[in-house]
Amino acid sequence: MVEQRYKAVHEFEALNPISGRKQRVMPGDVFYAELGQREPTIMIRLGESLWLVEYEVFKQCCTPYGLA
């Protein structure tokens, strides 16, 4: 698994795939995503938890951030 570090540039919402809890990701938050993921949702790692994000939202709201 190869991960890339990303930074949120716009606020968006992520969904915990186990509990269904929602998390607001704010501009400036840094997280990881496995490279090569595609539509319709991708998995990100924010802190110690995994979250699902719609791929189109991810493309619009996130940018690569340094090296993983």
CB 16 within 8 A of CB 49: yes
Q: What average pLDDT does the segment 42-47 reach?
A: 94
Domains: count for the chain:
1
DSSP letter at 17? T
CB 31 within 8 A of CB 5: yes
Query: Which percentage of the chain shows pLDDT scores above 90?
Result: 81
* pTM passes above 0.85: yes
Task: For 18-41, write each residue's pLDDT tens digit.
Answer: 999 999 999 999 999 998 888 799
Residues 19 and 8: their CA atoms lie apart, in Å, by 23
User: At 7, which CATH number?
Assistant: 2.30.30
Residue 60 lies in domain: 3-64
